[in-house]
């Protein structure tokens, strides 16, 4: 299993510098928006669908702009901070997310386009569980699902997920382990579920 790629320290430094600069020059925050909007929008779309993602992404950056004075560059990069805001906003739509995964579970495999849903499936399973996976994801507790999808969809390390959700790294690891185990059980042991890249705990 491939190791998690090291963070791009130059990008992290540029992000931190833009946040600090934006406190006296608000226009500087547009750099954060342009660098990260597509990734945050894609993450939200894979969880809630494209229509909801438009609002989630916009609200994420509005909240980040308002809270930029509280961002501490010494704590880490901007990415986990933004994903944490987005995940909390998605949490307000958790019922919609559950309905979305259940709807995907009822969708025949030949109706999946080369887009958000099949990328979720391809990314988080080795065997391509498809609709069964969507149904299993819908049944996960919210906290476990958040951890799982931040690792699987956002490529965050355990440490970054902890920063995003305000959790200890060990808690992230245990939630991810529990989510994978529950999915394997839900899938009847027929798929090696959630073979996402591991990162050190």
pLDDT tens readout for residues 9-25:
588 889 999 999 999 99
Task: Give the residue with greater pLDDT, 141 vs 93.
Answer: 141
Least confident of 12-21, 68-77, 170-179: 68-77
Task: Count CB-CB contacts under 10 A for residue 173.
Answer: 19
Mean pLDDT, to the nearest integer, of 68-97? 87
Q: Is 109 exposed, middle or buried (0-12, 13-18, 19+ CB in 10 A)?
A: exposed
Nearest one of 114, 32, 111, 140 to 78, comparing CA atoms:
32
Question: pTM here?
Answer: 0.76
Q: In terms of pLDDT, which residue wins out, 134 or 153?
A: 153
Query: Quick check: 191 pLDDT over 80?
Result: no
Residue 31, exposed/middle/buried by CB under 10 A (0-12, 13-18, 19+)?
middle
User: Is the confidence at residue 107, as pLDDT, over 70?
Assistant: no
Instruction: Please indicate whether residue 128 or residue 175 has the higher confidence score (pLDDT).
Output: 175
The CA R_g of the chain, rounded to the nearest whole Å, is: 17
Confidence of residue 59 (pLDDT cuts 50, 70, 90): very high
The neighbour count for residue 14, using CB atoms within 10 Å, is: 15
Q: Among 125-134, 142-151, 156-165, which stretch is predicted with the lowest mean pLDDT?
A: 125-134
Mean pLDDT of the chain: 79
Length of the chain: 201
Report CA dihedral (72, 77, 78, 80) to the nearest 10 degrees.
-110
CA-CA distances (angstroms) from residue 171 to 62, 90, 103, 121?
29, 21, 30, 25
CA distance 27 to 33: 10
């Amino acid at each position: 299993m491939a190791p998690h790629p090291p963070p791009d320290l130059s990008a992290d430094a540029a992000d931190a510098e833009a946040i600090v600069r934006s406190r006296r020059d608000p226009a500087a925050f547009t750099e954060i928006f342009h660098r990260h909007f597509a990734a945050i929008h894609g993450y939200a779309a894979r969880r809630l669908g494209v229509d909801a993602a438009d609002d989630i992404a916009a609200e994420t950056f509005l909240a980040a702009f308002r809270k930029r004075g509280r961002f501490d560059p010494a704590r880490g990069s901007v990415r986990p901070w933004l994903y944490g805001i987005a995940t909390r906003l998605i949490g307000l739509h958790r019922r919609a997310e559950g309905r979305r995964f259940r709807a995907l579970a009822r969708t025949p495999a030949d109706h999946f386009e080369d887009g958000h849903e099949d990328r979720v499936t391809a990314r988080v399973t080795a065997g391509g569980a498809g609709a069964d996976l969507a149904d299993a994801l819908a049944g996960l507790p919210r906290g476990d699902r958040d951890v799982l999808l931040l690792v699987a969809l956002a490529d965050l390390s355990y440490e970054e997920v902890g920063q995003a959700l305000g959790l200890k790294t060990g808690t992230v690891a245990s939630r991810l382990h529990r989510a994978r185990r529950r999915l394997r059980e839900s899938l009847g042991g027929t798929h090696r579920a959630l073979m996402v890249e591991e990162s050190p705990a």
